[in-house]
Amino acid sequence: MSDDGDRFSTDQKRSSRDLEDVRRGLERALAGHVPEGRDHSVTGLGGTSATGMSSETLLFDASWQLEGGRHQERLVARVAPMGDDVPVFPTYDLPGQFLTIKTVASLTDVPVPPAWWCEPDPSVIGSPFFVMGRVDGEVPSDIPPYSFGEGWLYEATDEHKARLQDSTVAVLAELHAIPEPEKHFAHLRGESPGDTALRRHVASRRYWYEWAARDSGRSALIEQAFTWLDDHWPAEEGPTVFCWGDSRIGNVMYRNFEPSAVLDWEMAGLAPAETDLAWLGYLHQMFEDMAVAYGFPHMPDFLRLEDLATTYERLTGHTPRDLDFYYRYAALQLAIVYLRTGMRSVRFGEREVPGDADELIMNADTLRALLGA
């Protein structure tokens, strides 16, 4: 990969946290989750920038003494960002995410990491966090994007790419098949106004945008997108299902081109199934648009929305509807993410404050085109 890839890298600084302070805090917390007085320790603590732009992911090794010798576990801490580090979302409900993972594990065969413990007290390491077991597998890279002409996924056979695509859609199908989602995931209901799940989902994104705009300034493009949604609302919204939310392949670990762990549940919610399908397709198309713009090889026949919809219908019997609406909704949500990560870059001195908030939005050209502007 040439240095040109740096122009659209998402490898920005995420945190000002002191890792040694975090290590000591994790070591103290570990004491409550291992046999008492067994010489526990935390070593090898480090972050990862392989994927993700919101919560911090910290990898570490935990060990303690047992009668048969020293026991060691490879663990992962999912940590809410500190307020001064320009978090992507207004709130980070780490206990809620932890409960979501445990509920998915209890109701489905979708592979999720083993849930160890959740610590809501921010005083332990500076932010709430939860701990999971580490799972082996390969993750499609964000840095550089997996479709930019190199890497294990780009170089895979067509058969292997199809297996990865179809098995990922199968994850969505299984999640969406959870019965009584509003009962099992009542903690995701939230307080947003609206008489349907989709109305409440979009209302929560309006609130997210209004909160983000306090720092970045208002975005004419995002507001135009909300107006477009209001003017093109689906006549029939379809059933409410449990949605993963951040349903992209960069949030999955794969082994033999099938999911070994499904990660990142902070955008999980209750909404029509099309919300997840469109996000899966659009997040790949974002990389495609960037690759074409900068002359990189790319993967135009992979994760096409029409193919995802066909596979989903075959697996579930449900015909996805109004995908144009949900596709634009996905682009709008990603624009809000970029509004925040752009301001985070300003916070860490990686860029200047722009004169127009729309300059922070990396998918602005695509969103404008989708809106017909």
Bigger pLDDT: 36 or 288? 288
Cα–Cα distance, 107 to 95 (Å, whole number): 18
Residue 12's pLDDT is 47
Give the single-character DSSP code of 354. Answer: P
Residue 153 lies in a domain: no
Query: If 0-12 CB within 10 Å is exposed, 13-18 middle and 19+ buried, where does residue 236 land?
Result: exposed
- Tell me, yes or no, whether 126 and 250 share the same domain: no
Residue 9's pLDDT is 44
| Rounded average pLDDT over 190-206 | 96
Cα–Cα distance, 304 to 308 (Å, whole number): 6
- Tell me, yes or no, whether 76 and 14 share the same domain: yes
Query: CATH no. for residue 220?
Result: 3.90.1200.10
Residue 70 lies in a domain: yes
Read off the pLDDT of residues 294-345 as tens digits, 9 standing for 90 and up: 999 999 999 999 999 999 999 999 999 999 999 999 999 999 999 999 999 9
- Tell me, yes or no, whether 127 and 188 share the same domain: no
Apex CA 86: angle with CA 82 and CA 91, to 5°? 65
- Tell me, yes or no, whether 114 and 234 share the same domain: no
Cα–Cα distance, 204 to 196 (Å, whole number): 12
User: What is the pTM assigned to this prediction?
Assistant: 0.92
Cα atoms in the 13 Å half-sphere on the side-chain side of 356: 8
Query: CATH no. for residue 54?
Result: 3.30.200.20
Cα–Cα distance, 137 to 74 (Å, whole number): 14
Cα–Cα distance, 252 to 224 (Å, whole number): 32
Is 12 in contact with 350 (CB distance < 8 Å)?
yes
- Tell me, yes or no, whether 129 and 84 share the same domain: yes
Q: Look at residue 2 and tell me whether its pLDDT is greater than 60.
A: no
Residue 252 lies in a domain: yes
Apex CA 10: angle with CA 75 and CA 22, to 5°? 35
Residue 15's pLDDT is 54
Task: Give the chain's end-to-end CA distance (angstroms, integer).
Answer: 33
Q: Which of 133, 166, 182 is the last residue of a domain?
A: 133
- Tell me, yes or no, whether 80 and 191 share the same domain: no
Residue 16's pLDDT is 63
Residue 51 lies in a domain: yes
Helices 220-231 & 323-347 angle (0-180, nearest 10): 160
Residue 150 lies in a domain: no
Cα–Cα distance, 13 to 249 (Å, whole number): 22
- Tell me, yes or no, whether 233 and 269 share the same domain: yes
- Tell me, yes or no, whether 92 and 229 share the same domain: no
pLDDT band at 135 (very low <50, low <70, confident <90, very high): very high
Residue 20 lies in a domain: yes
- Tell me, yes or no, whether 124 and 170 share the same domain: no
Q: Look at residue 13 and tell me whether its pLDDT is greater than 60.
A: no
Annotated catalytic residue 246 = yes
- Tell me, yes or no, whether 198 and 324 share the same domain: yes
Instruction: Give Rg (Cα) of the chain.
Output: 21
Bigger pLDDT: 90 or 15? 90
Residue 249 lies in a domain: yes
Domains in the chain, number = 2
Catalytic: which of 142, 246, 264, 358? 246
Residue 148 lies in a domain: no
Q: Which of 116, 133, 150 is the last residue of a domain?
A: 133
Apex CA 305: angle with CA 304 and CA 306, to 5°? 95
Residue 5's pLDDT is 38
Read off the pLDDT of residues 246-272 as tens digits, 9 standing for 90 and up: 999 999 999 999 999 999 999 999 999
What domain range includes position 177? Answer: 158-370
- Tell me, yes or no, whether 178 and 308 share the same domain: yes
- Tell me, yes or no, whether 236 and 363 share the same domain: yes
What the block records as the tokens of 90 is 């207004």
